[in-house]
Structure 1
Amino acid sequence: MGVGVRILFFRFSYFVRLVAASLILIGFWPQDALAQTRINLIRDAEIETIIRNYATPLFEAADLDPAAIGIHIVANPRLNAFVAAGQHLFLNTGLLIEAANASQVIGVIAHETGHIAGGHLIRGQEALRGASMQTLIAAIVGIGVGIATGNGQATSAILTGGSGIATSNFLQFSRGQEAAADQAGLSFLEETDQSATGFLEFLEILEKQDLLSSRRQSPYLRTHPLTRDRVSFVREYVNTHPGGTEPSPEITKSFRRIQAKLIGFMQPFRRVMRHYPKSDTSLEARYAHSIAYYRREEIDRALPLIDGLIELEPDNAYFHELRGQMLFENGRLEESLPSYKNAVRLDPSSALLRMGLAHVQLEIPDSRENHPAMEHLLYAIEKERDNPQIWQLLAIGYGREKAYGMSALALAEKALRLGDKVTAIQQATRAQKKMPKGSPGWIRAQDIKITTNLHP
């Protein structure tokens, strides 16, 4: 029995800003357990930048190329992090929100880096090297269903239907691999002069969960076997290696902002206000309040708060971006444009910020904005060639320039990334009809048709 995979791209849907991949798998597992499983991948320039800043020194200490490792934020409240397909690191929002400090998250990243550096790929994962994000997540969702239902056959069936991979141990590591990843992670922390205390704290949290029933345990514990020997080893290491610095004030500040942003966007208004009472005047509290009011469509309360933060930190690209998002989603397109331009001016290397600005420019009925929008999109696509939303916006931009062949080619590229092979072939064929035979665009369209036909 197969499984349907559909990816939905939302325009400015909460803070799943511009690009949020929502894979909905509806199938055959028990209705009382999971009638519908969904994975939301959050794209947020600020959060991704901060997490990558945490991870890059660890990747470099492991002699890994940071640019080759994908970092993905999963909108899931459960405590979890995992590596899949060799060089993709996934962190749940639940881990980022529940962690007591940045050191705990950095410790988890160090451990997962140990898995990457050690090549701890399960046999089934080998088949996913180079797979599309859709295929990769289809496999991960299959594991999620198996864990939630306790039904290994359901897991295997989903993996077979979704990606041609059947193994119920896809994300599970052996105890030996866990110990090796611990040792490697500790060495990476030591090499980067970072304390391992946070990682020990995280393992101690898991140690308490080890006594719970499997249904109440975090997914992390079920895919990363925990033993007393592991905890004892890390505890002994921390006791005998008192060196290593705790996170700097700058790292602590950035982590608190991640938490404020996630809580503000993902939790109900009352819970946000309980976590950050009105009496809390800290920057992160005001950040969370501004987001919470914006989500309640109380723009008159949200804007003054974000304006106050911009006054405090005028060079913060992400405050400007949020201000632009608030205005854009409330139909004030032209007012939002300066905020997005400020965000890109302050962080011109961000593909997501450029994509956000280009999106606004394409929505504004001013043809003068089309050319700069295309420049931003062409820059962004070079950095994120597998981002379907950029291809969608490029198709719109090319259409406005009456470059209909390139517009069709961009739609073919988008369909290819989404696994929609029928549309990919249709749009590639349409592109070729509108381009000179043998031109670079015509050849690329032919490549898409050949590639798609080779992998039906």
Structure 2
Amino acid sequence: MFAKPVFEAANLYPDGIEIYLVRDSRINAFVAGGQKLFIHTGLLQRARTPEQVIGVIAHETGHIAGGHLSRLRQKMQGFSAESILGYVLGGATILAGRADAGAAIIMGGQDAAQRSLLQYSRTEEGSADQAATKYLDKAGISSRGLLEFFRILKKDEVTKTADQNPYIRSHPLTAERLSFLEKHVAESPLSDKRLPPAYQEMHQRVRAKLDAFLLPPEHTMRLYPLGDTSLPARYARAMAYHKDSQKDKALAEINGLIAEHPTDPYFHELKGQIYFENGDLKEAVKSYEKADELLPNTPLIQIALGRSYIEQNDPKMFEKAIDILEQAVRVEKDSSFAWRQLGIAYGKAGKMPESSLALAEESLLQRRYKDANYLAARAEKGLKTGSPQWLQSQDIQMTAERLLKKQNK
């Protein structure tokens, strides 16, 4: 919703750019591996308006269109998102497609790698700023959000928190850049134009969801007290109650939202999660199936639904799990968690070669190349020669062997 108009204004194919959400409280966004855009949760939580987020996306799009960071693109081309994060950030958790996204991020001494590989020159930064304003103008969106975001960064510099802000390190903020944006905003007829309410509401919901999932429950309750009856606040409280093991209160909040917004898939998804994590698998399946019905072909929902089918340990459910998870990995190819769930489903259904193949994909994404090679070879023995899955096992083995050699150089 936020990125598509910018990508189209830059004459880029929106579906060709993959966006990943990285669990890290620091403000950052960067492009790597060709057309993979990584956005830190901290940036979304800190941004106060959707225009600020879209401004950053426009700036990063300028780097994509400008072909900047070619040295990193050459190193990372063809790598999975998880491999890129492992290389650059030391194994950061990607929230998209991960049911284990509560795991702590590991930065492990990788700041030097990030600083050297993701460093833009002043010329590249100025070029990306100019491109960003061009794309925003073409999309009919104010550049004021980008200027406001830069002022947030400037404040961080002044308060000596720049060392904690990787965006400042990789995107040097100069007086010239600020002056350019100030001049553009002063002259643009779009500067005071606000995005439609739907954008504002979506941004507030995203912030509420991130706050609730990433902050301690008591902190969330302070940010969204009981007196706040807005939709984002109720959504956040439902998640906070769930995290605090208050199932009944969590269900009361989410059921109230569903009563008012019965066709909102994300409310049904959260209800499914509450039931699943409290061991009520049948109710979890009902909620996830409703979410899938309302928002079909959405990998995150499909993965959660597939996992719920598996956990029922009912042979009738295993084929359902396989079907929905196969749909998910066709879109969410970089989710090692999805591949693992598919491997488990195949295994429980007695399809061992297919199970080994899915687990080989998981291992490859997690950079366990020896395991990937072994599992793919094992899968190959049980698959029909020349079949798509047999060819997939061959590809995994060749890729794993190539990356092993590269790793051992």
The SS at the match of 2:350 is: coil
Residue pair 1:264, 1:291 contacting (<8 A) in 2 also: yes
**Equivalent position to 1:268, from 192, 195, 216:** 216
Which residue of 2 is the match for residue 237 of structure 1?
Answer: 184
Give the 3 Å change call, closer, same or farther, for CA 447–201 of structure 1 in structure 2.
Answer: closer
Residue 299 (1) aligns with residue 247 (2):
yes
Q: Within 5 Å, give how 1:51-70 maps onto structure 2.
A: 53-70=1-18
Which residue of 1 is the match for residue 173 of structure 2?
Answer: 226
Which residue of 2 is the match for residue 247 of structure 1?
Answer: 195
The SS at the match of 1:169 is: helix
**Equivalent position to 2:257, from 309, 313, 321:** 309
**Equivalent position to 1:368, from 316, 326, 336:** 316
Amino acid at match of 1:192: A
Which residue of 2 is the match for residue 16 of structure 1?
Answer: none
Residue 380 (1) aligns with residue 328 (2):
yes
Which residue of 2 is the match for residue 49 of structure 1?
Answer: none
Task: Tell me which moved more, 321-330 or 389-398.
Answer: 389-398
Which residue of 1 is the match for residue 394 of structure 2?
Answer: 446
Q: Within 5 Å, give how 1:36-75 maps onto structure 2.
A: 53-75=1-23
Give me the whole-angstrom Cα distance separating, in 2, the residues matched to 1:261 and 1:114: 29
**Equivalent position to 2:42, from 94, 100, 105:** 94
Deviation at 1:216, TM superposition (A): 4.6
Deviation at 1:125, TM superposition (A): 3.7
Deviation at 1:307, TM superposition (A): 0.3
Which residue of 2 is the match for residue 169 of structure 1?
Answer: 116
Give me the whole-angstrom Cα distance separating, in 2, the residues matched to 1:168 and 1:200: 24
Residue pair 1:355, 1:390 contacting (<8 A) in 2 also: yes
Residue pair 2:17, 2:37 contacting (<8 A) in 1 also: yes
Give the 3 Å change call, closer, same or farther, for CA 358–286 of structure 1 in structure 2.
Answer: same
Structure 1 length as normaliser, TM-score? Answer: 0.80
Residue pair 1:264, 1:288 contacting (<8 A) in 2 also: yes
Deviations 1:46-65 (A, max 9, x none): xxxxxxx1001101111111
Deviations 1:333-378 (A, max 9, x none): 1111110000000000201111111110111133222222222112
Deviations 1:282-303 (A, max 9, x none): 1111111111110000001110
Amino acid at match of 1:99: A
Amino acid at match of 2:331: K
Q: Which runs of 5+ in 2 are unaligned?
A: 93-106, 405-409
Task: Tell me which moved more, 212-221 or 290-299.
Answer: 212-221
Residue pair 2:315, 2:349 contacting (<8 A) in 1 also: no
Deviation at 1:218, TM superposition (A): 2.0
Give me the whole-angstrom Cα distance separating, in 1, the residues matched to 2:384 and 2:275: 42
Amino acid at match of 2:302: R
Structure 2 length as normaliser, TM-score? Answer: 0.89
Give me the whole-angstrom Cα distance separating, in 1, the residues matched to 2:361 and 2:27: 35
Amino acid at match of 2:177: R
Give me the whole-angstrom Cα distance separating, in 2, the residues matched to 1:397 and 1:102: 39
Residue 396 (1) aligns with residue 344 (2):
yes
Deviation at 1:214, TM superposition (A): 6.4
Which residue of 2 is the match for residue 14 of structure 1?
Answer: none
Deviation at 1:142, TM superposition (A): 5.9
Give the 3 Å change call, closer, same or farther, for CA 440–220 of structure 1 in structure 2.
Answer: closer
Residue pair 2:7, 2:13 contacting (<8 A) in 1 also: yes
Q: Within 5 Å, give how 1:99-178 maps onto structure 2.
A: 99-141=47-89, 169-178=116-125
Give the 3 Å change call, closer, same or farther, for CA 243–446 of structure 1 in structure 2.
Answer: closer
Deviations 1:234-270 (A, max 9, x none): 1111111122631210000011001111111111222
Deviation at 1:407, TM superposition (A): 1.5
Which residue of 2 is the match for residue 183 of structure 1?
Answer: 130
Residue 206 (1) aligns with residue 146 (2):
no
The SS at the match of 1:297 is: coil
Deviations 1:76-107 (A, max 9, x none): 11122222233121111111111111111111
Give me the whole-angstrom Cα distance separating, in 2, the residues matched to 1:116 and 1:298: 45
Amino acid at match of 2:223: H
Give me the whole-angstrom Cα distance separating, in 2, the residues matched to 1:430 and 1:113: 42
Task: Tell me which moved more, 118-127 or 332-341.
Answer: 118-127
Residue pair 1:143, 1:170 contacting (<8 A) in 2 also: no
Aligned residues: 389
**Equivalent position to 1:287, from 224, 230, 235:** 235
Give the 3 Å change call, closer, same or farther, for CA 311–441 of structure 1 in structure 2.
Answer: same
Give me the whole-angstrom Cα distance separating, in 2, the residues matched to 1:369 and 1:88: 35
Residue pair 2:82, 2:334 contacting (<8 A) in 1 also: no
Deviations 1:159-196 (A, max 9, x none): 5xxxxxxx852111111111111111011111110111
Q: Which runs of 5+ in 1 are unaligned?
A: 1-52, 160-166
Which residue of 1 is the match for residue 144 of structure 2?
Answer: 197
The SS at the match of 1:294 is: helix
The SS at the match of 2:275 is: helix
The SS at the match of 2:76 is: coil
Give me the whole-angstrom Cα distance separating, in 1, the residues matched to 2:243 and 2:91: 32
Give me the whole-angstrom Cα distance separating, in 1, the residues matched to 2:386 and 2:20: 38
Residue pair 1:122, 1:172 contacting (<8 A) in 2 also: no
Residue pair 1:122, 1:173 contacting (<8 A) in 2 also: no
Amino acid at match of 2:357: L
The SS at the match of 1:90 is: strand
Amino acid at match of 2:260: L
Cα RMSD over matched residues? 2.2
Task: Tell me which moved more, 111-120 or 384-393.
Answer: 384-393
The SS at the match of 1:210 is: helix
